Amino acid sequence: MDSHHFLETALVFLVATVIAVPLTKRFRLGSVLGYLLAGIVIGPQELGLVSDTSGVATISEFGVVLMLFVIGLELSPQRLWVMRRQVFGTGLLQVLATSMVIGIAGYYLFGLSVNGAAIVGGSLALSSTAFGLQILAERKEAGSPYGRQAFAILLFQDLAAIPLIAAVPLLASASSKHGFDLLAVLRTIAAIVVVMVGGRYLLRPVFRFVAKADTVEVSTATALLVVMGTAWLMEKVGVSSTLGAFLAGVLLADSEYRHELESHIEPFKGLLLGLFFISVGMSMDITLLVSQPLKVALLVACLMLIKGALLWPLGRMVGGLDARDALRLAVLLACGGEFAFVVLKLAREQNVITTQQHGLQVLAITLSMALTPLLVALVGRVFGSKPKKTREFDTIVADSPRVIIAGYGRMGQIVARVLRAQNISFVALDHSVEQIDLVQRFGANNNIFYGDPARPEMLRAAQADQAEVFVLAVDDPEASLRTARVVRRMYPDVKVIARARNRQHAWRLMDLGVEMPVRETLYSSLKMTRQTLEALGLPAELAADRVERFRRHDAELLKRQYLVYDDDARIVQTTREALADLDQLYQADAEPEAKAERERPTGVTPNDEDVTR
């Protein structure tokens, strides 16, 4: 491929990606579908903008190799051990059951050979990791019960792809005229053992030697050397190079250099994955969709119905999900996956399946991936969001508390611990069932109750009229303001000490009569600034003085901006004026009078305790 043609091809790829991916993501169809559509449009069957298919295939192969390496790098053995029951329980059963059912259907209904049916069944049992995790992240359901179960199944599917990729050339040799090649099997096993054992004892010394050079380029080159070297070795013994790349990633998954490698490769990860999916889209035979629409629709329906029908009972019985979450799991993982493209491509190259069979299956996988976001959205709309765990408000038994704490999260707990150590009576209220349950696991907490602190009856039950101080430590700014309004209206004489998320939140609290709210990150930031100045060589006394000056200056600025906080122009103006004043203040430190100014009593000594919270 000459340089001019190469630049033209790269330009076409980038333009197609920039147009297609944002469009599909805007409609919540995922970036993977955007790459596939881009490949279809620029491919030889549509616009024909890319004609050098051999060059594209070479670049695509490199993208697949690196994609497998990155996936292997993320499969930490420690991560697998923590999730072993879910991964090797539901995940194993799903892959085995789905592979058998789809393989049998492929053999009897679609005329596949025995070896072809085994490969197709195993590849179609795999779901889209990119699609699944992306949908869970967009819907903020990755931490839900079905989200964790889906992640475990996808993790096992990634593991199952290793033997599946290795099996393709073995099954191809078994189906040839020479029959089963025992030497090829032994050669493959020996190569895997050499890679695993050699990599285990050689990679760390190599990376330790390279790390001493302290050069990013050399570290990246070393990672690529390991990937390409392992891939080349596996290819030499007749095994897929992608399997070698995957093994290289797994070998480095638990090394101390894993995060450094991820930081080097992460910028290329998205584009390399995109390049692979574009190449898949270019290889799709769209004419099959026109000439055999019923067959394609039957394939898509069979794929999604079989996988969904098997996933639902597995989620219910093995995963312990309720009926609603089991259905969500089935719909999310019913589509085909990225590894299926890799396996089917190898199967076609090894003549395990025909070109037409490959085209039909790639079409079915792509269409199933396109339907998945729509089906997930439909199920979510039909069932709605899962109702939150609810219970009746706790009955509060309190004896004239001096302090009421609203919100028992990170900040509220610290306040409560100090008050308890000082034998100061308090009542803590929190509106999160999960937070109260978590706290109660660590022992009896007789003065911590479940309830909404913004409800007047809860405040009466907590005897807020007897309290001297009301600590408003609620994490949600809107809930914090709602509680502050109720407290100021019902108990105007109670001193309110409120936590503020940011300056805007602080100003709105000040509107309600809360004097100088405590911004939750201010004092910890000042502490970090002081330590930074000291690490840069400033004397501890001077660093503490600089930080304290900034604190007082910022407190004055907060008060001044409070008067005009609804005027953006005035906010910008006062900020610029404050920066100029602060510069002049620090410049004065170079003058002879600076020492006397620093020694002047300030009323508040900036010691460690002052700037810790």
Which CB contacts under 8 angstroms, 24+ apart, belong to 577-583? Answer: 578/553, 581/553, 582/549, 582/550, 582/553
> Would the pLDDT of 531 be above 90?
yes
* Farthest-apart Cα atoms in the chain, separation: 97
Q: Which tops the pLDDT comparison, 513 or 310?
A: 310
79 CB-near residues (< 8 Å, 6+ apart): 155
Report residue 487's pLDDT band, with 50, 70 and 90 as the boundaries. very high
Report residue 97's pLDDT band, with 50, 70 and 90 as the boundaries. very high
C-alpha 394/C-alpha 172 separation (Å) is 67
The model's pLDDT over 331-378, given as tens digits with 9 standing for 90+, comes to 999 988 877 887 888 888 888 888 888 888 888 888 888 788 888 888
- Residues 384, 389, 393, 398: is their CA dihedral positive or negative? negative
Q: Give the end-to-end CA distance of the chain in Å, rounded to a whole number.
A: 62
> Would the pLDDT of 65 be above 80?
no
Mean pLDDT of 257-285: 71
604 CB-near residues (< 8 Å, 6+ apart): 548, 610
The model's pLDDT over 194-244, given as tens digits with 9 standing for 90+, comes to 777 776 677 777 777 877 777 777 877 887 787 778 778 777 776 666 667
Q: What is the pLDDT of residue 405?
A: 93
**DSSP H or E segment with residue 499:** strand 495-500
Mean pLDDT of 50-58: 64
Q: Which tops the pLDDT comparison, 55 or 248?
A: 248
The model's pLDDT over 509-529, given as tens digits with 9 standing for 90+, comes to 988 888 889 988 888 899 999
C-alpha 539/C-alpha 594 separation (Å) is 15
Q: What is the pLDDT of residue 256?
A: 65
The model's pLDDT over 407-461, given as tens digits with 9 standing for 90+, comes to 888 888 899 889 988 989 898 898 877 677 667 666 545 678 888 888 888 888 8
> Would the pLDDT of 478 be above 80?
yes
Q: What is the pLDDT of residue 606?
A: 43
Report residue 611's pLDDT band, with 50, 70 and 90 as the boundaries. very low
In 10 A of CB 452, how many CB atoms?
17
The model's pLDDT over 574-595, given as tens digits with 9 standing for 90+, comes to 777 777 776 766 666 655 555 5
Q: What is the pLDDT of residue 508?
A: 87
The model's pLDDT over 447-456, given as tens digits with 9 standing for 90+, comes to 788 888 888 8
C-alpha 112/C-alpha 31 separation (Å) is 32
- Could you tell me the two tokens for 68? 């497998």
Q: State how beta strands 426-430 and 403-406 pair.
A: parallel
Domains and CATH numbers, the chain: 1-54 (no CATH), 66-378 (1.20.1530.20), 397-520 (3.40.50.720), 522-613 (no CATH)
Q: What is the pLDDT of residue 610?
A: 41
Q: Which tops the pLDDT comparison, 65 or 125?
A: 125
- Could you tell me the two tokens for 610? 């002052």
DSSP-derived 3-state class of residue 230: helix
Question: Under a CB-based contact definition with an 8 Å cutoff, are residues 336 and 369 in contact?
Answer: yes
Q: What is the pLDDT of residue 254?
A: 65
128-132, 316-320, 349-353, 463-467 — which one is most confidently predicted on average? Answer: 463-467
Percentage of residues of the chain with pLDDT beyond 90: 12
> Would the pLDDT of 604 be above 80?
no
Smallest Cα–Cα separation from 96: which of 122, 132, 123, 127?
Answer: 122
C-alpha 75/C-alpha 55 separation (Å) is 31
C-alpha 172/C-alpha 182 separation (Å) is 12
The model's pLDDT over 167-208, given as tens digits with 9 standing for 90+, comes to 787 776 665 544 455 676 677 777 777 777 776 677 777 777
Lowest mean pLDDT: which of 37-41, 226-230, 291-295, 606-610? 606-610
Burial of 391 (0-12, 13-18, 19+ CB in 10 A): exposed
45 CB-near residues (< 8 Å, 6+ apart): 284, 285, 286, 287
C-alpha 222/C-alpha 261 separation (Å) is 10
Q: What is the pLDDT of residue 307?
A: 93
93 CB-near residues (< 8 Å, 6+ apart): 314, 318
> Would the pLDDT of 1 be above 60?
no
> Would the pLDDT of 475 be above 90?
no
Q: What is the pLDDT of residue 255?
A: 65
Q: Which tops the pLDDT comparison, 309 or 187?
A: 309
In 10 A of CB 295, how many CB atoms?
15
Mean pLDDT of 323-329: 88
Per the prediction, the chain carries an average pLDDT of 78
In this structure, the dihedral spanned by the alpha carbons of residues 531, 537, 542 and 544, taken in order and rounded to 10 degrees, is: 0
Q: What is the pLDDT of residue 313?
A: 92
Question: Under a CB-based contact definition with an 8 Å cutoff, are residues 515 and 567 in contact?
Answer: no
In this structure, the dihedral spanned by the alpha carbons of residues 17, 19, 23 and 25, taken in order and rounded to 10 degrees, is: 30
